[in-house]
Amino acid sequence: MTELRKTNCHFCGYLCAFEAQVEEGRVTGLVPDPTRYPYDPDILKGCRRWKMNLEVLDDPARVNHPLRRVGERGSGQWERVSWEEALDGITSRLKGLINLYGPETLASAIGGPHASFWPLHRFMSLLGSPNNMGIGQICWNPRIWMDMVTFGWTIEPDIDLALTGAVFIWGTNPAQSDNSAFWRHLLKVARSDIPLVVIDPRSTQAAAQADLWLPLKPGTDCALALGLLHVIIAEGLCDHDFVERWCHGFDELQSAVAPYSPQAVADICGIPARDVRSAARIFAKAKAAALVSGRGIDQTGANVAATHRAIACLRAVTGNLDKPGACVITEQSDFVPEAVLELGSSLTKDQRARCLNTPHTPLQCYEGYAKVNALTERLGRTMPLRYLTSAHPDLVLKAMCEGKPYPIRALVVQATNPLLTYADTKRVFKALSSLDLLVVLEYYLTPTASLADYVLPIAGAIERPLFQAHGGVANIAYGGPAAVEPYHERRTDYDVFRELGVRFGQESDWPWPTLKDAFAATLAPAGMTWEEYCCKGIYYRPPAFFKHEEPGTEGRRRGFATTTGKVELASEILAELGGQRVPTYLPQGPAAAPPQGPAAAPPQGPAAAPLTLITGARKQPYNASMFLGNPRFRKAYPKPLAEMSEATAEAYGLAPGDEVEVSTKNGTATFTFKAAPMRDGVVSIDYGWWYPEWKPGAPDFGGIWASNANLLTDCSLKGGEAMIGTWSYNALECTVQRIRKRGMDDPEETCTAPVQ
């Protein structure tokens, strides 16, 4: 007998709804369910990933049982053990290390939103370790931090076809990074009379829809944002009433942007001065202007905070803040926020002081968090804790390899593959190989998992309930129930950390027997039952606009959760921490100008003239290092690509299909060249590429030494952003050399995935 059960996909952030056909506890089919969030059947029609949900349930390559290493690290020699043996062994070894070095000897590594991270963070908080490591410094954290210090909370775009007067897409391509609801909404914008401006060195699908495309030099986004502010202020296009009533530090900002005339910005960014003026006027004169930014900004290293601050100021001086059709300041969730679930309050003052970041990144640390959170709590909002205090990878790797300032000897890896997704692969490999205990929670034997002491099989989509809550910075959660119990011996991440917690005497702090019970308790304060949530697929209460005008205390308006109660164009709290009061551009990137166009002489030998490298572009159907083992995907997109404009390729004597080496001061990786419409002098390489068909362990480790973009990157604090610690994945100096010309017998490139 076939039973239909509600469940959800988990291969992107939308968590699209399905009905699973279940027979005797096994899923035999999936049918899209448009009655639940995101309600749009066209999303799945254009998605190449969702069918994998059924395929991966019984994929022969899945890890189905706990594995314990028995040979040399990376040798690929394992023995199957029971869950009790695995968890008891991990507990014993971890307790021994804690007795020697203290609880801070344990660190964690996390990645994308394909797991529930709060159980891991809860376990670490109760244990006493502040060393959760992630890549938030180059994804999400910079925008969240700068919104917090400027507005007192985060914002989200509010693109309404009836109210929005202009849309800016900056450093992202929703056709590839989203490829669903938002991308189709953006296509509606493009078909309307709403001006669309796209800022990206690549002519992406979004740029192809734009009324104005600004192909700026990588790494110069901050200068462009300051130039837009210059034009708006110089031409009197500000919302003067909003600035006077609700903005702090306008005169300082005006002085700071004075040098960034359209011509000065044109010289820095390599775009026409007239386009700088046009973009500024479009934004300022629109009845409401919405701006969406992405990783292209988050990964700009030293300038990331100033760029986000300048964009925040751009919204404020034009009155496009908490305004319908422009953006909305979100509200904290009605349900239990992740900051509470993580139990960060369990860390003592001394344990917080052991945070590696404290002397180095004064905002991204517990002291910086406490200063800003004290302001947001004035309006009843608690900031995410563990994400915004996550330990900088440079410092964690140093503590692993050098034992400074203290030894980190154990690591738990969840929902990430650091040998592909963390900067400086050689250094990451050395650090992970040096550990006394490495535990990896995984679906597959990835290159990182192949180095582990224990690999724990984790339940994925359809096998586990889902509750996507965006770190608790918005009043929305979506997802749904599991359709079946986990296959084989797989368990949810919650089960793993609860069981470890019990072994460390934390039993009273894990009151929920299952992840479903924990989610139900999380949702309860919002007045919705777990069953109601599963039927709707979403909990959401839209925030009001113009909240700063609402009545506050002592007869005042509510205002903003900042030091001054206003939008801080000049930031008092950043200044207090030693940062910039107003955003300032720091020149970065290749010092030498790359050859432009076919007239440039082709470079010769290993000292070839430098180009500018960008590494963060996403390509459907892949996502970072995921889904490369899917045969259908690989047939359509078989090789990792290095893309350049036709003019740049001609200058370097390259033809489509040539194999090339891309080199930076950090290393070399190999790609297949493909011409793509983009700015001259720029190289864009595929990110996260490895070869799942190769042996995951020694000597090749799944091909991480071949075409891995992070062989070329560096996460060192030196040269990074001062307040948060962001390193750069873009605007890197590189050289490109052909190592093999595509021969007559080589197949034509079959990649059908468009450039991001």
The whole-angstrom separation of Cα 600 and Cα 488 is 60
Burial of 1 (0-12, 13-18, 19+ CB in 10 A): exposed
Q: Could you give the strand order of the β-sheet that contains 26-32, starting from the edge strand earlier in sequence?
A: 3-8, 17-23, 26-32
Amino acid residing at 269 = C
Angle formed by the axes of helices 262-269 and 273-285, nearest 10°: 120
pLDDT digits (tens, 9 = 90+) for 434-487: 999 999 999 999 999 999 999 999 999 899 999 999 888 999 999 999 999 999
What pLDDT does residue 112 have?
73
Mean pLDDT, range 154-168, rounded to an integer: 97
What pLDDT does residue 41 have?
83
Contact between 63 and 445 under an 8 Å Cβ cutoff? The reply is yes
% the chain with pLDDT above 90: 88
591: pLDDT confidence band, cut at 50, 70 and 90?
Answer: very low
Mean pLDDT, range 255-283, rounded to an integer: 98
Q: What is the DSSP letter of 392?
A: P
Burial of 124 (0-12, 13-18, 19+ CB in 10 A): buried
The whole-angstrom separation of Cα 704 and Cα 429 is 10
Amino acid residing at 139 = C
Angle made by CA atoms 732, 689, 429, in degrees to the nearest 5? 80
Whether 408 has a pLDDT exceeding 90, the answer reads yes
608: pLDDT confidence band, cut at 50, 70 and 90?
Answer: low
737, containing H or E segment: strand 730-740
pTM of the entire structure? 0.95
pLDDT digits (tens, 9 = 90+) for 696-754: 899 999 999 999 999 999 999 998 999 999 999 999 999 999 998 876 345 444 444 43
pLDDT digits (tens, 9 = 90+) for 38-85: 998 888 887 889 989 999 999 999 999 999 999 999 999 999 999 999
593: pLDDT confidence band, cut at 50, 70 and 90?
Answer: very low
Q: For 21-84, give the DSSP string.
A: EEETTEEEEEEE-TTSTT--HHHHHT-SSTTHHHHHHT-TTB--S-EEE-SSTTS--EEE--HH
Whether 605 has a pLDDT exceeding 50, the answer reads no
What pLDDT does residue 596 have?
40
Mean pLDDT, range 319-336, rounded to an integer: 97
- 3-class SS of residue 132: strand
Burial of 21 (0-12, 13-18, 19+ CB in 10 A): middle
Mean pLDDT, range 121-147, rounded to an integer: 96
The whole-angstrom separation of Cα 655 and Cα 652 is 9
Phi, psi of 568 (to 5 degrees): -95, 90
Mean pLDDT, range 361-365, rounded to an integer: 97
What pLDDT does residue 515 have?
98
Whether 188 has a pLDDT exceeding 80, the answer reads yes
